Amino acid sequence: MKGYKFAGIRAEIKKKDQKDLGLIYCENPAVAAALFTRNKVMAAPVILGKEKIKKGLCQAVLVNSGNANCFTGDKGIQDAVSCAKMAATSLGISEDLVLVSSTGVIGANLPMDKFETGVPNIVTHLSENHVDDFAKAILTTDTHNKIVKESSIIGDKKFSIMGIAKGSGMIRPDMATMLAFICTDVNISALDLKISLSAANEKSFNRITIDGDTSTNDTLLALANGTSGVKINDTDSKKIFQDMLDKVCLKLAKMIVKDGEGATKLIQIIVKGAQSKLDAFKASETIAHSNLVKTAIYGEDPNWGRITAAAGRSGAQVVPEKMDLFFDEQPLVLKGRWLGEQAEKKIAQIMEKKEITITLDLNLGKETDSFLFCDFSEDYVKINAEYRS
């Protein structure tokens, strides 16, 4: 994408022989908007980023994996500031235009000597063609890069949006989740970009879960450099841009869930027929977070009682005798009555698939909401038991 350069290198921040330092550089300052974690234990780069983003401009983003720089006190803040200064000096830009992000183990200080050598080095690797290197450098327990690019036309001009994300565990959104960076070439105000980003986030990153844990480092950042000449400044252009941004964010969100730690299946839970939007959200969220539901799906067991029980404890208004439950298009419960062993056998076959849609109709109203989640396997326990080793 014109006007953006990327890099990813090994700076020896991680113990393993993997890339662990990434950089996004805009040739000119870009309009910027961001969402950050609502976890009260916030990492130093999040604390710093929340202040810097108020200016609505950004020209570079330095990201490290292998160390979260969280719960590190004043030194953590000082280290985050120092990393931004190093990048600014190496790039010859203002420190105010550099944001930093970190992901990895909580509680350890950054190995600043690695940044002192790594930051000047990574600047020499910047290229329009190094998106894959950047995407790889920000991974932790992820098994692959997560990159999405879409293009469209407004008037007679083409514009593009590219998203790069990491996330595999510690995923329970409460604003965004994981780290995600959106680069676009449209001309848009910081306020309109923030509005669009927030709306896209609600439909995507805020509707996924892997393990029910909200990270301390969650950051969703969008940059717009205006190089396409496409202006997002009226109702029609805003809708086209919003639709495209929604698409990119949803694709990234699905990639994160499919790559969940130890995951074998991607599930969408749809709750419809709720009395209120809040009820639809509560029921779908509770089902998606249920470990009993997740383990039953891993075992390919149509244990539907776990789903209806989760809805019942969600705080949503439910009437058991009115519930309908479907796996894909196959009903298992209608008006609160189990349809029997033959229906359950059909559901068991559906549960062998890698992607499943579960629909719970409360039959109490017209509101709908949904979540994307994954199953729980033995590998999830193993990955997290050995995370720091």
Strand order from edge to edge, sheet including 367-374: 208-209, 367-374, 266-274, 355-361, 324-327, 330-334, 337-338
Which residues lie closer than 8 Å to 336 by C-beta, 6 or more apart? 319, 320, 321, 322, 323
CA distance 170 to 37: 12
SS (H, E, C) 283-336: HHHHHHHCHHHHHHHHCCCCCCHHHHHHHHCCCCCCCHHHCEEEECCEEEEECC
Q: What distance in Å separates the CA atoms of residue 356 and residue 353, rounded to the nearest whole number?
A: 7
The residues annotated as belonging to the active site are 177
Contact 132, 82 (CB under 8 A): no
Cα atoms found within 13 Å of the Cα of residue 63, Cβ hemisphere only: 32
- In the chain the first and final C-alpha atoms are separated, in Å, by 38
Q: Which 3 state secondary structure label does DSSP give 125?
A: coil
Phi, psi of 181 (to 5 degrees): -125, 125
208 and 171 Cβ atoms separated by less than 8 Å? yes
